[in-house]
Amino acid sequence: MFDVRSIVIGIILMLKKYTCINITIYEESSNEDYKNGIMALPLIGLAIGFSSFLIASLEFVYDGLFVSVLVLGFYCIVTRSVNLTDTYRTLNYIIKPKNQSEQIVGIIGTTIILLLYFSLFRIVPVTSLIIMPVAGYSSLIILSPVIKRNKKNTEIMKCCGKYHTIAAFAISFLIAAVFNYKLVISLSLTYMISGFVVSYLDNKVSVLPNSAEGLIVETAQILFLIITYIIRI
């Protein structure tokens, strides 16, 4: 039987973690709440993506450069740049794990990601902006079983089970099929390439930092947009 209370708390936890929505919870949360809220992530991604799509549709009225700035600004504001911040932290952790004052790697990495977003938003189909966050958050769930190393420091990946993975696959492919069935190809390639890369890097890391989840989301989203552009969907 579903625990409605736990599901609601779990959804709120996901919103608090990945969006600018901040709802106060007066009860202590548990891992079970996270488990029950994880499946809201693809739907949260859909909400973010659909809003980005609406903003990108202004390209018919305004200059594409200006619209790209609006889309990128919206994405950073609505997510509080939490995944970009995690990307910055993870890159510094990987390159200089004993000296966090060495920030140049993280700065360069996040700058490149922002420039890629800015460029790709202008040249990919607007419907791909709907699927982009769905692909990012679904990848976080789908790649969890691929990682065999210790995930105790993570918040989401350590709570993911097989049913989360199956549901993430189904929901993301269904959303892609509804808005643009051709994007299913990009989505499939994103998951396959991400799985291969993560599986390879898994042997290089003993314990995943909490911030690695943000890096996975951002990388999957960028990869999805690049693949979509390359195969000209």
Contact 199, 174 (CB under 8 A): no
State the pLDDT at residue 144: 92
Residue-averaged pLDDT of the chain: 90
Q: Which of 18-27, 177-186, 221-230 has the lowest mean pLDDT?
A: 18-27
Does residue 61 or residue 130 have the better pLDDT? 130
State the pLDDT at residue 3: 76
Rounded to an integer, what distance in angstroms lies between the CA atom of residue 231 and that of residue 128? 13
Q: Which of 26-35, 111-120, 172-181 has the lowest mean pLDDT?
A: 26-35
Rounded to an integer, what distance in angstroms lies between the CA atom of residue 209 and that of residue 157? 11
89 token code pair? 């932290």
Q: How confident is the model at residue 65 (pLDDT cuts 50, 70, 90)?
A: confident
Residues 141-159: tens digit of each pLDDT: 999 999 887 788 888 999 9
The percentage of residues in the chain with a pLDDT greater than 90, rounded to a whole number, is: 66
Is residue 217 over pLDDT 80? yes
State the pLDDT at residue 1: 46
Contact 49, 187 (CB under 8 A): no
